[in-house]
Amino acid sequence: MNAPEFEQTQFIQQFINLTRSGYNYLPTDQHLLELYHEHLKKLKSNFDQLLLDQGYSGVLIHSGDAPLKFLDDAHYPFKANPHFINWIPLDRHPQAFLWIAPKETPLLFIFQKNTYWYKLPPAPHGRWCSPFEIVHYSDEEEIYKILERKFVNGVYLGECPPSFQKWKFSAYNPESLLKNLNFLRNTKSEYDQACIQIANYFAAAAHQQVAELFKSGRCSELELHYEYLKKLGTREEDTPFDNIIAFNQNASLLHYVDSDTTPPSVHSPLHSLLIDAGAKFHGRNSDITRTYAFNPHSEFAAMISALEKVQQTIISEIKIDTIYPQYHQRAHQLIAQLLIDFKIIQHLNAEEAVAKKITHTFFPHGLGHALGIQVHDVGGKTMKNEDVDPKKASEQKQAEKDHPCLRLINEVQNGHVFTIEPGVYFIDFLLKELRSKEDGAYSAYINWERVEKFKKYGGIRIEDNILIKDNKVHNLTRRAFDAIN
Ligand SMILES: [Mn+2]
């Protein structure tokens, strides 16, 4: 068979085209299948061990359901339980269940019931699901009958409607199990890594398309958003997160998702574009940000290049066994120097500017986050490496205190995937706060005329997805952009 029968996303044809065009680092269909089966093997042994350790007979993982809107008969888009996706890359199968028990073949329950209202998700079959025993059901009672006796010591993972309470599991989403599972998800299998790489190829191609159209100066934010989706060949609800496509001052809003319909004109001239958008493959995500100056000869264009240098410097310095907050701290130093070079910070050196937390006004978010089945992936903070030495542990603690926005404080290790996304923004209310800080004492450290000049551009963020493998740093995003250029 040509395509993985398990795969039901829109991306598969694109994926096949990419592999045919011979990009390096892309697995063939057969290789991806092998990686998937290895991923499952490891997952099964991790789950078996954890369940035994914690005294559970097994776990039922619910894929989830599309909730109904208030006072309505329409549903919100379905978003699958990430713990289900970890096992089974089907993100359009609500009401599916997976039963995992030590030394047993996993049971996959797929909802199949005649209906003339909706198209049922196809029943998985073929090589991709050979490690599972597949049971089709139309009524949840059927699952109960099969597993009834096992539920006594079993545990349930997923969103939990009241109807499942009567199933009498010994625990629902127990914290100790979730904590361990989340921590394990920090280390990506080769299958996860391959999927995130593919998701980077898709997103890079769509990014490139949008960048080209932006240069033409004719499209609105909304039109660019549609072009991005079109290039991915996907529905809006199948992107990893709402696209951020922001012109000018809109780029100073970190999560601006409003997609203005106004086309650029003499009355609303274009200065900048910030695009933060990703793609999904087999439920694994990419998350890429780029910023463009409409005038490539402007000072803002030079600032973009300078921030890109900052980003690449940080990436080049990443080493195994170090803690992530160290790079966040480094970003503040380098951004301080950038702001001094651009004559925005004055009368201070970089170290002093960081010590006075002036960079926090221009770079108010974390340097990055773990990336995987969730865009802001779990495990970055849930459990610290027990072997971490006391010095690193106290650094981590301090970093959590100093940088409450930082989502990742773990040690960098092989198998980790995370983003590196420094930014420089001109955010009105933060600038006002800085100006009045300590009765205006800080105001002298800023050249406000220069700040005014940059406000119309909103801000810059540059974000790449980084994989640590074989003690080396692999930039999955640059690799993707290089391949399509
Ligand atoms: Mn991100």
Q: Please say if the pLDDT value at position 384 is more than 60.
A: no
Please tell me the distance between residue 324's alpha carbon and the centre of ligand 1 in angstroms: 15
Please tell me the distance between residue 161's alpha carbon and the centre of ligand 1 in angstroms: 31
Q: What are phi and psi of 211, to 5 degrees?
A: -60, -40
Please tell me the distance between residue 41's alpha carbon and the centre of ligand 1 in angstroms: 30
May I ask the CATH architecture of the domain 35-184? 3-Layer(aba) Sandwich (3.40)
Tell me the average pLDDT across 16-28. 56
| Dihedral sign computed on CA atoms, order 91, 93, 95, 97 | negative
The pLDDT assigned to 225 comes to: 97
Please tell me the distance between residue 371's alpha carbon and the centre of ligand 1 in angstroms: 8
Q: What is the pLDDT of residues 402-423, one digit of tens each?
A: 888 898 998 999 999 999 999 9
Residue ranges matching CATH 3.90.230.10 in the chain: 190-484
The pLDDT assigned to 71 comes to: 95
CA distance 314 to 349: 20
Spatial CB neighbours of 441, under 8 Å, sequence gap ≥ 6: none
CA distance 468 to 310: 19
Please tell me the distance between residue 326's alpha carbon and the centre of ligand 1 in angstroms: 18
Q: Please say if the pLDDT value at position 211 is more than 60.
A: yes
> What is the CA angle 93-96-102, rounded to 5?
135
Q: What are phi and psi of 287, to 5 degrees?
A: -150, 100
Please tell me the distance between residue 241's alpha carbon and the centre of ligand 1 in angstroms: 10
Share of the chain above pLDDT 70, in %: 93
Tell me the average pLDDT across 229-236. 91
Please tell me the distance between residue 3's alpha carbon and the centre of ligand 1 in angstroms: 31
Cβ-contact 186, 410 below 8 angstroms: yes
3-state secondary structure 70-115: CCCCCECCCCCCHHHHHHCCCCCCCCCEEEECCCCCCEEEEECCCC
Q: What are phi and psi of 390, to 5 degrees?
A: -55, -35
The pLDDT assigned to 115 comes to: 86
Q: Please say if the pLDDT value at position 1 is more than 60.
A: no
Report the run of H or E that residue 13 belongs to, with start and end: helix 12-20
Please tell me the distance between residue 463's alpha carbon and the centre of ligand 1 in angstroms: 7
Please tell me the distance between residue 278's alpha carbon and the centre of ligand 1 in angstroms: 9
Please tell me the distance between residue 244's alpha carbon and the centre of ligand 1 in angstroms: 11
Residue 95's region, left for phi above 0, alpha for psi from -120 to 50, else beta, is: left
The pLDDT assigned to 391 comes to: 80
Tell me the average pLDDT across 45-49. 97
Report the run of H or E that residue 434 belongs to, with start and end: helix 428-440
The pLDDT assigned to 420 comes to: 98
The pLDDT assigned to 24 comes to: 53
Q: Please say if the pLDDT value at position 8 is more than 70.
A: no
Cβ-contact 188, 464 below 8 angstroms: no
Please tell me the distance between residue 419's alpha carbon and the centre of ligand 1 in angstroms: 6
CA distance 36 to 195: 10
What amino acid is encoded at 459 in this protein?
Answer: G
The pLDDT assigned to 11 comes to: 43
Residues having C-beta closer than 5 Å to ion ligand 1: 287, 419
Tell me the average pLDDT across 133-152. 91
The pLDDT assigned to 3 comes to: 34
Instruction: Identify the band that residue 121 occupies on the pLDDT scale cut at 50, 70 and 90.
Output: confident
Please tell me the distance between residue 277's alpha carbon and the centre of ligand 1 in angstroms: 9
Residue ranges matching CATH 3.40.350.10 in the chain: 35-184
Q: Please say if the pLDDT value at position 96 is more than 90.
A: yes
Please tell me the distance between residue 369's alpha carbon and the centre of ligand 1 in angstroms: 7
CA distance 77 to 204: 25
pTM over 0.85: yes
190-484 fold? Creatine Amidinohydrolase (3.90.230)
Please tell me the distance between residue 421's alpha carbon and the centre of ligand 1 in angstroms: 7
Tell me the average pLDDT across 303-321. 98
Tell me the average pLDDT across 66-92. 93
Chain centre to alpha carbon of residue 463: 11
What amino acid is encoded at 188 in this protein?
Answer: K
Long-range CB contacts for residues 49-52, cutoff 8 Å, separation at least 24: 50/177, 50/180, 50/181, 51/100, 51/101, 51/102, 51/155, 52/102
Please tell me the distance between residue 28's alpha carbon and the centre of ligand 1 in angstroms: 28
